[in-house]
Structures are given as C-alpha cells and as structure tokens.
Amino acid sequence: MLVSMRQLLDEAAQGGYGVGAFNVNNMEQIQSIMEAARETRSPAIVQASRGARSYAQDLYLYHLMLAATELYPEIPLVLHLDHGNSVETCKSAIDLGFTSVMMDGSLMPDGKTPSSFEYNVEATRKVVEMAHAKGVTVEGEIGVLGGIEDGHGAGLDGLSHVTDPEQAADFVAQTGVDALAIAIGTSHGAYKFAKKPTGEVLKMDRLIEIHKRLPKTHLVMHGSSSVPKELQDIINQYGGKLRPTFGVPVEEIQLGIKNGVRKINVDTDNRLAITGAIRKVFIEQPEKFDPRDYLKPAREAMKKVVAERMTQFGQAGHAGDYQPIPIAEMAKLYAAGK
C-alpha cells in the first residue's frame, strides 16, 4: 500500500527528523531507494517529475511502485509528483494513484516564468480541494528557486525570489497545503555554488524566520543535493567533463531539519553516482556490453548515496514506528478537519 506523505511528515515532525525525497525515472532507481530504505529501516518518498512520467510512462512507473510495496511491506512508501506545473498535471497524477502531489504555482505552467501570488494561491487551492477529497497530500511552493538546468527555476542566482515569511504565512492560510517548499538560495542541478556556501549565502536565517512564523507547516528544501567532490571526481576521472562546483552542505540541511524542514529533495547526487559508476565500467572494462554489467554498479552507487542521506537526515530506524493510514482514511480525516 502506498501511503500519504502527510502521515510520513507528521511522524517526522514528531520525531524531529527529515525525510529525503528522491527522484526516479526507471526501475533501477526505485530499486536503489528501496534497498537503501530496507538497509537503514527508513520510511521512503519516491518522486517523479513530469519529465520522469513521460520518460518512463505513467503506468510503468506506477506498477513498479506497487511492486515495491509488495517487495518491501515493512517500508512506509509515498509516490509523490515533483513540480506539478498545473492543476491538470496534478489531477492526472492523483487519478493514476500518486499519494502526494506538488503544485508548483510559484512558476507559470512553462516552469520558468515567476507567477503572481494570486495565481499561485488560486491554482494551489484548487489542487488542495481535489487532493484532500481523496486523502492525497499537497506540497505548494512560495518564492522561486534559481537556475534553469532542469526547467524548474527562474534562471537567476537563487536569491532573487527568496521566500517572504509573511507571504508564506498568508499562502498557507489561504491554500491549506500540507507542506511548503521555500526558496532560500538553492537551485536545481549540479551547478549551484562556485564555492562552499555559508549559512548566509543559503539564507538559513530566513528559513528559521519562516519556521517561527509557521511552526506547524512542514517545510521542504528543494535543490538539496550536496554535489560531493568524490562523485564529481569519479566522473571526471573516467572521461567526464564536470566543472568544479559546490552543492548544499549536509550540515546546513541538518540545521534546516532542526528548524522545521521535513522533506529534502535530492536528485542530482544520485545522477552523479549512477553516471560515475557507469563511466568507470566503460573505461575499465571496455569489452563489456551486457547492460547488467554497468547497471548493477550504478544501482549500488545510488543505493549508497541514498542510504547515507537517509542516515544523515535522521529518518533511518523509523520505518516501523507507525501503522500506515490508508489514503481513504486520510480523506475522512481531512473532511473532519483533522
């Protein structure tokens, strides 16, 4: 059974830990996350972007996730839509069986033009109404991430649309979202910072202020890959051409977790781990051509990163803490105003 993200995040808030949300596009990435979750006994959030849904096809993705629930019954598992760009996209995910959706109304449906506050409230409120009626969780976003590497961001330095605490409070009151993504200077992809960011570059004070203003709202950090040098080095050692770059230090994420961050989005670190492992096989064993010879090490490399993050975020050891609440039951709880 796929469970509600709201339940996972409520439990995380109670336990004072964060939960990584890892992007997937294929079977191997789902397998990596599930193995890491089993090894560390972690609840798990698997998320798919619009690009992932179109690459894998909705039904393949959904049935792979159902297989994961059967193979790993001890893991509370969420299927979340990452960066839904419109009410229709969120609706199609809910209809398919996603148990959580993100309505990213901070941007217009093109994924790069910053929207108005009114547009964001309107679109997000519609999704909340539709989703909660089915027990599905909703994440909204206020403020805009930088970068355009992946088509979700305003293309600026990440500091041009940092979240305003008052506007965040207004947004939560008007929409009823379960979780709120905030912009504090991060962007998607590998090229976030030219040097290791300080807590000031990352606007951690702003995050703390938002948490004080909204102590009951689960905060979400996007663009939270740490882009470890070791992973960059493996890629470059085996013929890759990554420019030197820095991601979000794990210590800053841990400070966020102490201040209301419950969901941490990570995609790039896993992409780097997979690519490094595949490049290594290609260079060291050029005679190989069975995809399993490079996909197995790739899967193992991603599992290692995910297990490390699950431990660092504090979700490790919490898989068995609670009984999953069925989505239909969640719908009743929302209807009763609980």
Q: Does 82 bind ligand 13P (CB under 6 A)?
A: yes
CB nearer to ligand 13P: pick between 6 and 83: 83
Do 226 and 248 touch, CB atoms closer than 8 A?
Answer: yes
Sign for the pseudo-dihedral over CA of 186, 50, 314, 136 = positive
Binding segment for ligand 13P (CB under 6 A), chosen from 84-92, 162-170, 216-224, 236-244, is: 216-224
Token code pair at residue 318: 């919490």
Q: Does 104 bind ligand G3H (CB under 6 A)?
A: no
Residues 1-40 that bind ligand 13P (CB under 6 A): 23
Q: For residues 48 and 217, what is the distance between their CA atoms, to the nearest angstrom?
A: 23
CB of 304 to ligand G3H, least distance (A): 19
Q: Does 202 bind ligand G3H (CB under 6 A)?
A: no
Token code pair at residue 261: 């961050």
Q: Does 263 bind Zn ion (CB under 5 A)?
A: no
Give the per-residue contact string, 267-286, with ligand 13P (x = CB under 6 A; - = no): xx------------------
Enter the DSSP assignment of 228: -
Burial 45-72 (b: 16+ CB within 10 A, else e): bbbbbbebbeebebeebbebbeebbeeb
Q: Does 139 bind ligand G3H (CB under 6 A)?
A: no
Q: Does 7 bind ligand G3H (CB under 6 A)?
A: no
Q: Does 315 bind ligand 13P (CB under 6 A)?
A: no
CB of 258 to Zn ion, least distance (A): 22
User: Is residue 14 classed as helix, strand or coil in its secondary structure?
Assistant: helix
Residues 20-39 that bind ligand G3H (CB under 6 A): 23
Provide the 10 A C-beta neighbour count for residue 259.
17
In whole angstroms, how far apart are CA 72 and each of 35, 38, 129, 157, 320?
9, 7, 31, 40, 12
CB nearer to Zn ion: pick between 202 and 327: 202
Q: Does 222 bind Zn ion (CB under 5 A)?
A: yes
List the single partner that 15 binds among ligand G3H, Zn ion, ligand 13P, none, CB under 5 to 8 Å by kind: none
List the single partner that 224 binds among ligand 13P, ligand G3H, Zn ion, none, CB under 5 to 8 Å by kind: ligand 13P
Do 47 and 81 touch, CB atoms closer than 8 A?
Answer: yes
Token pair 């919490």 in the structure block, residue: 318
CB of 82 to ligand G3H, least distance (A): 5
Enter the DSSP assignment of 325: P
Binding segment for ligand 13P (CB under 6 A), chosen from 73-81, 153-161, 222-230, 255-263, is: 222-230
Catalytic residue check, 82? yes
Amino acid in the structure at residue 78? V
CB of 331 to ligand G3H, least distance (A): 28
CB of 154 to Zn ion, least distance (A): 13
Burial 1-26 (b: 16+ CB within 10 A, else e): ebbbbbbbbbbbbeeebbbbbbbbbb
Which positions touch ligand 13P (CB under 6 A)? 23, 82-83, 188-189, 222-225, 265-268
Judged by the rule CB under 5 A, the positions of this chain that interact with Zn ion are 222, 265
* Residues identified as active-site: 82
